[in-house]
Structure 1
């Protein structure tokens, strides 16, 4: 009797939401955006489709919610006293995230932006922009706000350099950049571009 109760225990609250979020990301990886359905997500999450519709109107709305939860947030050092270390940490967070199902889903959305423009817009409006944009932008703004970095140096180019080079190396080498390569991006490109 005890084993039966454990086996059939229904997930609720955060455990259920987490399972649904994991399911939608796995569905995108396996089936792609064009085949993403509430039926497939519910089946993978081992829950009823009606459970999904109580909270999300469409599979894309659910996907954006899952990506918002899965997107990592940089936490610069409170004292803002080691920009190099914080930038390396931010880009390392990016390289770690790049091998997750969430990153695969983001790549699917960005690569099919022309086919799903509203989904891409929601990705920026509800996931990227609320977190400050790129992985290094949060760090750079933190330092600028504390007088440790000239705010005029935070241009659309300098705030993209770190991420752009991480993705370039990943594409060229078919792997995420190593710790040494991440440090080189900071030392040889990002810090010089910031005048440091």
Structure 2
């Protein structure tokens, strides 16, 4: 078997294990997640898991990290409004995924598993550049288009908080028009930009 084929086989195994841990979590919950259950669902030996991960929670964090979306702002940094809307749309799409459900399960039990919740931020959210709109805002600030002092923790959370509030209140994610309203009426004013000045 060639090195490329071996690597591909290894990638396929990791992918199947990631799918298995997410499915197992959805069925049994965080407290009953075990290496045995993940291995059985992935149809692989438990030793295969222990070669790479120390615990079922490590497998879970790796699966969430692997599928967590990465925001890619416009290379020329000339469409702040559009990049913010796309970041929120990416958040909405992610909330429908198994990895979002897994992240919610961890945060929902943060009192029982505080170290796991902390690791979710450290190994997934922060490792992937932070939250959705925060990545965009930092990108523009680094290129001199925004005052970094305006990107406070509150401002960093505005877009995501409003998306989640709408989803809870309406029992449905915001539409594209509503995402644009969040950007125009909340995020841009918070960083000193109106829609007419949002291109730079």
Superposed pair shares fold, TM > 0.5: yes
Structure 1 equivalent of residue 71 of structure 2? 74
Structure 2 equivalent of residue 24 of structure 1? 21
1:47 aligns with 2:47: no
**1:5-37 deviations in Å (ceiling 9; x for gaps):** xxxxxx821011011011111111221101111
1:180 aligns with 2:169: no
Structure 2 equivalent of residue 156 of structure 1? 153
RMSD: 1.1
1:116 aligns with 2:113: yes
Q: CA deviation at 1:125?
A: 1.1
Structure 2 equivalent of residue 97 of structure 1? 94
CA distance in 2, matches of 1:18, 1:155: 37
TM-score by length of 1: 0.92
Structure 2 equivalent of residue 65 of structure 1? 62
CA distance in 2, matches of 1:144, 1:159: 13
**1:52-99 deviations in Å (ceiling 9; x for gaps):** 111111100111111110111000001000100000010110000000
Any idea what SS the aligned residue of 2:172 has?
coil
CA distance in 2, matches of 1:184, 1:56: 43
CA distance in 2, matches of 1:46, 1:174: 36
Any idea what SS the aligned residue of 1:81 has?
coil
Q: CA deviation at 1:169?
A: 0.7
**1:90-113 deviations in Å (ceiling 9; x for gaps):** 011000000001000000111100
1:132 aligns with one of 114, 129, 133: 129
**1:132-151 deviations in Å (ceiling 9; x for gaps):** 32111110011001111111
CA distance in 2, matches of 1:103, 1:78: 27
Q: Which runs of 5+ in 2 are unaligned?
A: 1-7, 194-200
Q: CA deviation at 1:126?
A: 0.7
Any idea what SS the aligned residue of 1:183 has?
helix
TM-score by length of 2: 0.90
Runs of 4+ in 1 over 6 A off after TM superposition: none
